[in-house]
């Protein structure tokens, strides 16, 4: 679901074909019939953005028919735990959970906690602004006292236990409702339920694959939660052949999250400190918590080792290891927020683009380009010339008159980058495997690696600030910036060594994060990568052939953490440590040897027996019982219900997309009540019920990749061999929509939203099919998004159609579903385009407030959330 694996990950898809050849059944649930569907046993056409309704239906099917893997669920999930009496469900509140503040459009999550471990009430506004999930990195939020025993009902019958709450929450997600919301015929839906449940349990497992078809939604994090709940109920997590596979789209996008270039994270999912963290201790209390179970308990060792790596000798116990040197976050500093600040002027002056082309590849391309046109300076580093470097002369806004070259003040530097064969280093692929690349040749001309560029920049900045007495310059002056060099750039091996971690007493690399210390005697740049340079050997460079190793291929590259392939693989054994079945054995307890063993590196303390009970008062790793398989979670359990940590509710709930042609059939609450809206004149929304005039944009729009191109096109539109395979932007429509709108195959058409209109050639195809949704026919339209105004093949920028509205947990934009109109013929050119789109906005009655009255439960439409978003406190 939410993945077109055959097209976006063709070489990975060989394993699906392999599984199919061995008898696996493949289901593809997607808005359109793709090259993945062509090889699926069953294709299911779904209305874009309704995946939670579908998955909720699956959950309801499982619970109604007692099809869950009960022993697994009871032992390894939080199903038995009792919830607070203050908790109210969406069933009680017309689509809202308890704690909602319509004024701030945020939740106080305190009522979602377990009964025995009440949480402090927190004003919603802070949660909204600070994005609570981000405050906790990947560790999740606290469950106060989680290590001390949580009130539970192992029979799963108590009305307030998670299992029963879950059952009630999804009780109206019936096959009839799935059909009405998703457009999936009941019989087809039940076929999916049958196959999924029949292929799960002791002897069998089912894998679930998703990609950005799930993340790019205003409820994206909850899509994934819904999939996780199904997989937990069926016992498909931590077991071979099971799991949830997030297929990521860039060579090291996993790595750039682990070793983050993200505002809210430090390496290894340690959170970036915020304004409430006055010193290292308060910060660490916020990460590991008191009385929490699990491996975040050692966060002090991870963090101190990171600070030691950053600031070397300057970081001492006395000065809190330079914790004060870290800048503090206090809100949404995500890329879209930043771009709006650029447009507004006076806030952001300089911008680096490193192998990224937001003029084409980010949502709302026009906003991106207008932002870039309002900077002091812009640095673009890329292999080839890209639209984000040339916006001042060829942006679509030149044609409309919104950008005038001679009046555009932005100073632009273009630096040619070294390619992947011209530098050595690691990429982390989608299954967390680091693979080293050797340098094949030297780059030519001015081409340089990022390593060279940023090292040089740091050296020059340090030179300029040398001797500065300004306290704010200390972090830079004290920065450890003395890596070994190879030629004129830092040695990537040495950087990787420091990422791995070094024991300062011996000068040798540590073997893993278990060796890290909180006393300043170790340095480590990213604790989860610790072990990649164990034994002073670059483990990521290992290339022992698959012909010489077993099925877990443990000597090819290196997978974090600790070269482990399946996370939470303790769950592949039963609570007593025996494999659930011979067929599905992975790791198990060897009583004689007194250790966990198996085919994979056990994801558990090696010598902790299955029947181990943590002593009272223990916390962290020590507090994990022998059957707490989910070792990173605060309570050691897989979360069916998330008692804290999510901004938009403890359970996934079907909300209509921000732009939708229809009303939410399950609740009065139409869309995600906590989604981030940016009500600004330059970011209009198409109306969605209960707002009027949604019929002006009657069709559902979704966009995705083609096999033959790559993202914003810089690595494909410029290459003749790829450009000729998909030579032009097109829009796919069904024969039925073609008839309705008078569209003819290969003729021109244009797609219109309240942001703009884009041209494309029409492709009429049976691969697109209309759906019957609550008695009416809904058409979906699809476009690939790789084109821009330059390259061997040029086209309009599809992302210009998309506005910015974001998931409240992760601030990812909803670009996988919006509404649109489609008309035959080309769009107007130049200033006439602006007038044409303005006319659409007039007809749809669109104002800055459209789409921003996000609380609609109980028939009340609350205040609009428009910028500047400084709500006065209600009197």
Partner 1 sequence: MGVKRWLDAWPVFRQLTGTDPLGRGKAAQSARSAGLGSRTESADRVAGSVCPYCAVGCAQRVFVKDEKVVQIEGDPASPISRGRLCPKGSASKQLVTGPQREQRVLYRPPYGTAWQELDLDTAMDMVADRVLDARRKGWQDTDEDGKVLRRTMGLASLGGATLDNEENYLIKKLFTALGALQIENQARI
Partner 2 sequence: MTQDNSFYGPLSDPAGNAGHTDHPPRVGFFTDTSVCIGCKACEVACKEWNAIPEDGIDLLGMSFDNTGMLGASSWRHVAFVEQQRPLGRQDAGLADLPVGPSSTQETAEVVADALEVAKRGGGDLGTAPVDLGFPSFDLPGAGTGAEARTEFRWLMSSDVCKHCTHAGCLDVCPTGALFRTEFGTVVVQPDICNGCGYCVSGCPYGVIDRRPDDGRAWKCTMCYDRLRDGMEPACAKACPTDSIQYGPLDELRERADRRLAQLHEAGVTEAQLYGRDPDDGVGGDGAFFLLLDDPEVYGFPPDPVVPTRDLMSMWKHAGVAASALLAASAAVFLGGARR
Positions touching partner 2 (CB under 8 A) are 6-7, 10-11, 13-14, 17, 33, 35, 37-45, 183, 185, 187-188, 707-708, 720-728, 730, 734-736, 738-739, 744-746, 761, 763-767, 769-772, 777, 792-793
**Which of 32/755 has CB closer to partner 2?**
32
Q: In angstroms, rounded to a whole number, what is the distance separating the alpha carbons of residues 865 and 198?
A: 46
Shortest Å distance, C-beta 287 to partner 1 = 17
Shortest Å distance, C-beta 619 to partner 1 = 29
**Which of 33/134 has CB closer to partner 2?**
33
Strands, DSSP E only, in 420-520?
425-428, 433-437, 485-486, 489-490, 502-503, 508-509
Shortest Å distance, C-beta 226 to partner 1 = 21
Shortest Å distance, C-beta 254 to partner 2 = 20
Asked whether the beta carbons of 520 and 321 are under 8 A apart, the reply is yes
Binder of residue 349, out of partner 2, partner 1, none (CB less than 5 to 8 A by kind): partner 1
Binder of residue 350, out of partner 2, partner 1, none (CB less than 5 to 8 A by kind): partner 1
**Which of 55/434 has CB closer to partner 1?**
434
- How distant, in Å, are the alpha carbons of 265, 272, 326, 452, 622 from that of 268? 8, 11, 16, 24, 21
Q: Give 377's DSSP letter.
A: E
Shortest Å distance, C-beta 268 to partner 1 = 11
Cα torsion 124, 125, 131, 132: sign: negative
Asked whether the beta carbons of 829 and 663 are under 8 A apart, the reply is no
Q: Find all residues with CB under 8 Å of 270, minimum gap 6, and list them.
A: 137, 287, 299, 302, 303, 306, 527
Site for partner 1 in 468-487 (CB under 8 A): 472, 475-476, 479
Q: Find all residues with CB under 8 Å of 674, minimum gap 6, and list them.
A: 105, 106, 107, 128, 647, 648, 649, 808, 854
**Which of 465/864 has CB closer to partner 1?**
465
SS3 351: strand
Query: For partner 1, how many residues bind (rule: CB under 8 A)?
Result: 160
First to last CA, the chain: 46
Beta bridge partners of 587: 598
**Which of 191/478 has CB closer to partner 1?**
478
**Which of 37/660 has CB closer to partner 2?**
37
Q: In angstroms, rounded to a whole number, what is the distance separating the alpha carbons of residues 460 and 809?
A: 38
Q: Give 872's DSSP letter.
A: P
Asked whether the beta carbons of 291 and 119 are under 8 A apart, the reply is no
Q: Out of 281, 535, 549, 597, which residue is the one contacting partner 1 (CB under 8 A)?
A: 549
DSSP run (H or E) holding 43? strand 42-45
Beta bridge partners of 806: 676, 813
- Asked if 9 touches partner 1 (CB under 8 A), the answer is yes
Binder of residue 576, out of partner 1, partner 2, none (CB less than 5 to 8 A by kind): none
**Which of 420/823 has CB closer to partner 1?**
420
The label of the residue with tokens 């076929």 reads 191
Site for partner 1 in 714-773 (CB under 8 A): 715-716, 718-722, 725
Asked whether the beta carbons of 619 and 625 are under 8 A apart, the reply is no
Binder of residue 442, out of partner 2, partner 1, none (CB less than 5 to 8 A by kind): partner 1
Shortest Å distance, C-beta 456 to partner 1 = 6
Q: Out of 449, 522, 686, 702, which residue is the one contacting partner 1 (CB under 8 A)?
A: 449
Binder of residue 765, out of partner 1, partner 2, none (CB less than 5 to 8 A by kind): partner 2
Q: Phi, psi (5° rounding) for residue 380? A: -115, 125
Shortest Å distance, C-beta 404 to partner 1 = 9
- Asked if 447 touches partner 1 (CB under 8 A), the answer is yes
- Alpha-helical (H) ranges within 761-853 are 831-843
Binder of residue 735, out of partner 1, partner 2, none (CB less than 5 to 8 A by kind): partner 2
Shortest Å distance, C-beta 311 to partner 2 = 46
Q: In angstroms, rounded to a whole number, what is the distance separating the alpha carbons of residues 393 and 408?
A: 9
Q: Out of 66, 120, 187, 446, which residue is the one contacting partner 1 (CB under 8 A)?
A: 446
Q: In angstroms, rounded to a whole number, what is the distance separating the alpha carbons of residues 135 and 271?
A: 6
The label of the residue with tokens 């819904």 reads 226
Shortest Å distance, C-beta 832 to partner 1 = 25
- How distant, in Å, are the alpha carbons of 146, 314, 483, 502 from that of 480? 38, 9, 8, 14
The label of the residue with tokens 């808005």 reads 31
Binder of residue 316, out of partner 2, partner 1, none (CB less than 5 to 8 A by kind): none
Q: Out of 1, 8, 26, 640, which residue is the one contacting partner 1 (CB under 8 A)?
A: 8
Instruction: Write the burial class of residue 257 (CB in 10 Å: 0-12 exposed, 13-18 middle, 19+ buried).
Output: middle
**Which of 248/637 has CB closer to partner 1?**
248
DSSP run (H or E) holding 678? none
Asked whether the beta carbons of 474 and 325 are under 8 A apart, the reply is yes
Question: What's the token pair of residue 28?
Answer: 């593809």
Shortest Å distance, C-beta 434 to partner 2 = 23
Shortest Å distance, C-beta 13 to partner 2 = 6
Shortest Å distance, C-beta 211 to partner 2 = 16
**Which of 434/733 has CB closer to partner 2?**
733
Q: 243-282 mask for partner 1 (x: CB under 8 A)?
A: ----xxxxxxxxxxxxxxxxx--xx----x--xx-x----
Q: 391-420 mask for partner 1 (x: CB under 8 A)?
A: -xx-----------xxxxxxxxxxxx--xx
- Asked if 437 touches partner 1 (CB under 8 A), the answer is yes
Shortest Å distance, C-beta 337 to partner 1 = 8
What is the rounded (10 degree) CA torsion for 263, 264, 270, 271? 140
Q: 503-532 mask for partner 1 (x: CB under 8 A)?
A: ----------------------xx--x---
Binder of residue 167, out of partner 1, partner 2, none (CB less than 5 to 8 A by kind): none
Q: Which of 628, 511, 627, 598 is nearest to 562 (CA)?
A: 511
Q: Which of 606, 616, 519 is nearest to 562 (CA)?
A: 606
- Asked if 134 touches partner 1 (CB under 8 A), the answer is no
> Within a 10 A sphere around the Cβ of 772, how many other Cβ atoms?
13
Q: In angstroms, rounded to a whole number, what is the distance separating the alpha carbons of residues 303 and 296?
A: 11
> Within a 10 A sphere around the Cβ of 691, how many other Cβ atoms?
19
Shortest Å distance, C-beta 226 to partner 2 = 21
- Asked if 633 touches partner 1 (CB under 8 A), the answer is no
Q: In angstroms, rounded to a whole number, what is the distance separating the alpha carbons of residues 137 and 573?
A: 28
**Which of 546/842 has CB closer to partner 2?**
546
Shortest Å distance, C-beta 176 to partner 2 = 13
Q: Are strands 411-416 and 377-382 parallel, antiparallel or unpaired?
A: parallel
Site for partner 1 in 306-345 (CB under 8 A): 310, 324-330, 333-335, 338, 341-342
Shortest Å distance, C-beta 707 to partner 2 = 5
Q: Out of 36, 45, 50, 813, which residue is the one contacting partner 1 (CB under 8 A)?
A: 813
Instruction: Write the burial class of residue 508 (CB in 10 Å: 0-12 exposed, 13-18 middle, 19+ buried).
Output: middle
Shortest Å distance, C-beta 178 to partner 1 = 30
Binder of residue 485, out of partner 2, partner 1, none (CB less than 5 to 8 A by kind): none
Binder of residue 734, out of partner 1, partner 2, none (CB less than 5 to 8 A by kind): partner 2
- How distant, in Å, are the alpha carbons of 209, 267, 337, 785 from that of 711? 20, 26, 22, 7
Beta bridge partners of 111: none
């Amino acid at each position: 679901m939410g993945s077109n694996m055959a097209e976006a990950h063709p070489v990975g898809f060989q394993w699906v074909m392999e599984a199919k050849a061995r008898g696996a059944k493949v289901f593809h649930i997607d808005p359109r019939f793709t090259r993945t569907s062509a090889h699926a046993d069953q294709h299911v056409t779904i209305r874009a953005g309704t995946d939670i309704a579908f998955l909720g239906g699956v959950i309801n099917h499982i619970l109604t028919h007692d099809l869950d893997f009960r022993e697994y669920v009871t032992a390894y999930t939080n199903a038995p735990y009792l919830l607070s009496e203050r908790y109210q469900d969406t069933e009680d509140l017309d689509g809202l959970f308890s704690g909602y503040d319509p004024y701030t459009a945020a939740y106080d999550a305190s009522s979602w906690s377990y009964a025995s471990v009440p949480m402090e009430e927190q004003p919603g506004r802070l949660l909204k602004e600070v994005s609570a999930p981000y405050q906790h990195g990947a560790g999740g939020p606290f469950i106060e006292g989680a290590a001390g025993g949580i009130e539970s009902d192992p029979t799963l019958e108590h009305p307030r236990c998670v299992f029963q709450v879950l059952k009630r929450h999804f009780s109206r997600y019936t096959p009839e409702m799935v059909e009405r919301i998703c457009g999936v015929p009941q019989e087809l839906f039940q076929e999916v339920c049958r196959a999924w449940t029949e292929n799960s349990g002791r002897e069998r497992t089912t894998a679930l694959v998703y990609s950005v078809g799930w993340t790019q939604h205003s409820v994206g994090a909850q899509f994934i939660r819904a999939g996780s709940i199904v997989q937990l109920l069926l016992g498909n997590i931590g077991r071979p052949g099971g799991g949830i596979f997030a297929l990521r789209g860039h060579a090291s996008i996993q790595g750039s999250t682990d070793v983050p270039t993200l505002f809210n994270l430090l390496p290894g999912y340690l959170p970036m400190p915020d304004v409430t963290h006055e010193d290292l201790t308060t910060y660490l209390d916020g990460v590991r918590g008191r009385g929490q179970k699990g491996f975040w308990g050692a966060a002090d060792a991870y963090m101190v080792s990171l600070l030691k790596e950053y600031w070397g000798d300057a970081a001492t116990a006395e000065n809190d290891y330079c914790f004060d040197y870290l800048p503090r976050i206090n809100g949404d500093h995500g890329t879209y927020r930043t771009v709006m600040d650029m447009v507004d002027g006076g806030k952001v002056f300089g911008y680096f683009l490193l192998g990224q082309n937001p003029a084409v590849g980010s949502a709302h391309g026009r906003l991106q380009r207008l932002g870039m046109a309002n900077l002091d300076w812009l640095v673009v580093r890329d292999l080839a010339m890209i639209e984000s470097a040339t916006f001042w002369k060829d942006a679509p806004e030149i044609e409309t008159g919104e950008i005038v070259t001679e009046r555009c003040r932005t100073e632009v530097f273009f630096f040619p980058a070294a390619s992947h064969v011209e530098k050595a280093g690691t990429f982390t692929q989608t299954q967390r495997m680091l693979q080293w690349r050797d340098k094949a040749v030297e780059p030519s001309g001015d081409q340089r690696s990022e390593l060279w560029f940023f090292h040089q920049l740091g050296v020059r900045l340090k030179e300029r600030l040398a001797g500065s007495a300004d306290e704010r310059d200390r972090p830079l002056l004290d920065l450890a910036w003395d890596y070994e060099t190879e030629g004129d750039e830092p040695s990537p091996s040495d950087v990787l060594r420091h990422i791995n971690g070094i024991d300062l007493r011996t000068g040798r690399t540590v073997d893993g994060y278990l060796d890290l210390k909180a006393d300043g005697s170790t340095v480590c740049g990213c604790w989860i990568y610790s072990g990649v340079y164990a034994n002073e050997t670059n483990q990521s460079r290992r290339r022992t052939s698959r012909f010489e190793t077993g099925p877990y291929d443990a000597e090819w590259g290196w997978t974090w953490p600790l070269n482990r392939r399946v996370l939470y693989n303790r769950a592949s054994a039963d609570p007593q440590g025996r494999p659930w079945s011979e067929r599905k054995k992975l790791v198990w307890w060897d009583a004689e040897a007194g250790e966990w063993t198996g085919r994979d590196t056990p994801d558990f303390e090696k010598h902790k027996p299955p029947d181990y009970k943590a002593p009272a008062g223990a916390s962290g790793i020590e507090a994990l019982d022998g059957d707490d398989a989910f070792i990173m979670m605060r309570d050691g359990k897989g979360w069916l219900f998330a008692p804290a940590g999510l901004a938009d509710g403890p359970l996934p709930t079907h909300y209509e997309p921000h732009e939708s042609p229809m009303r939410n059939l399950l609740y009065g609450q139409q869309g995600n009540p906590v989604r981030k809206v940016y009500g600004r004149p330059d970011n209009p929304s198409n109306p969605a019920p209960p707002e009027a005039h949604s019929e002006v944009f009657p069709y559902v729009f979704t966009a995705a990749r083609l096999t033959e191109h790559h993202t914003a096109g810089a690595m494909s539109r410029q290459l003749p061999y790829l450009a000729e395979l998909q030579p032009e932007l097109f829009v796919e429509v069904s024969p039925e929509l073609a008839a309705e709108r008078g569209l003819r195959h290969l003729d021109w058409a244009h797609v219109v939203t309240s942001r703009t209109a884009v041209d494309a050639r029409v492709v009429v195809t049976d691969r697109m099919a209309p759906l019957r949704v609550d008695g009416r026919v809904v058409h979906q339209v699809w476009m690939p998004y790789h084109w821009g105004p330059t390259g061997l093949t040029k086209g309009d920028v599809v992302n210009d159609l998309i506005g910015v509205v974001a998931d409240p947990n992760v601030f990812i934009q909803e670009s996988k579903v919006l509404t649109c109109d489609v008309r035959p013929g080309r769009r107007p050119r130049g200033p006439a385009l602006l007038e044409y789109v303005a006319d659409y906005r007039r007809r749809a009655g669109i104002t800055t407030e459209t789409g921003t009255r996000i609380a609609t439960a109980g028939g009340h439409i609350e205040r609009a959330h428009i910028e500047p978003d400084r709500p006065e406190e209600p009197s």
